[in-house]
Amino acid sequence: MFNDNGSFLLALFEFFLFFAWFMCLFWIFGDIFRSSDLGGGAKTLWVLFVIIVPWLGILVYLIVRGGGMQKRQIEQAHAMQAAQAEYIQSVARPSGSSAAEQIASAKALLDSGAVTQAEFDALKAKALA
């Protein structure tokens, strides 16, 4: 398969270039579809350009739209973080239950003996937080 060390190194270099191209392709496609300032037609044209003329398409995309790639990625990360925080808040405090209702249910648990006074105080502090 490999006649000498040079052909092995060349094959290794070709594999590296293929892998780098593939990673850039996914990165560029992710940015194209993440971009809210592009319409459907513009996204289609960019995708076709990157697919038809791969290396040139990637380089042109990076030159034309590369400056905003990090900004769009940060915006998506902030949106995901906000959605996660909202979900955690909705799970931590069920909707429709006020602090008074939570304290009343904790008091019922204390009266039934299911929780101790220290646990009741912790539940009360959590409901008031």
- 109: pLDDT strictly greater than 90: no
Which pLDDT band holds residue 29 (cuts at 50, 70, 90)?
Answer: very high
Handedness of CA 31, 37, 43, 47 (dihedral sign): negative
Q: With CA atoms as reference, report the closest residue to 24 among 1, 43, 64, 51.
A: 51
User: What pLDDT is stored for residue 10 in this prediction?
Assistant: 87
User: What pLDDT is stored for residue 6 in this prediction?
Assistant: 77
- Taking residues 2-24, report their average pLDDT: 85
- Taking residues 109-128, report their average pLDDT: 86
Of 30-34, 74-78, 93-97, the poorest mean pLDDT is in 93-97
